[in-house]
Amino acid sequence: MTLTQLKKLLQQCPNATADYPFGPEARVYKVMGKMFALLAEQETPPRVTLKAKPADVQALIDSFEAIVPGYYMNKQHWFTLTLNSEVSEDMLRDLIEASYALVVSKLTKAQQAQLQQQNT
């Protein structure tokens, strides 16, 4: 997957916004103000940091060389994936969707209702 494809995929998450709160080297994707992805787009190859359940984070780290504990993040809940051919596009898509869904599940009920209303 190319960097352009990855950006498009992240932006396609419902109500996703992107900004640079940590400086120009780290694009942060949020839903309702909560981060679900951090893209180090200036790295070669690019890296994306995503959220997952702690057991899933450890399983991913154990299974793939391209996946390590999340840089500058809570390493129990975040992992960093280096874009390469080891992780398929379908798997990357699933990991992004899971990160987004996990963050949405932690929003307040009012925020979830607002998000649902905005997407109908």
pLDDT in tens, 61-107: 999 999 999 988 999 999 999 998 789 999 999 999 999 999 999 99
In the block, tokens 């790295």 appear at 43
How large is the C-alpha radius of gyration of the chain?
14
Give the structural domain span for 86. 3-118
- CA 5 – CA 7 distance, rounded (Å): 5
CATH code of the domain in which 23 resides: 3.90.1150.30
Looking at residue 34, its pLDDT comes to 97
pLDDT of residue 85: 78
Helices (H), 54-106: 54-63, 89-105
pTM above 0.85, yes or no: yes
- Alpha carbons 77 and 54: distance in angstroms, whole number: 5
Question: How many domains does one find in the chain?
Answer: 1
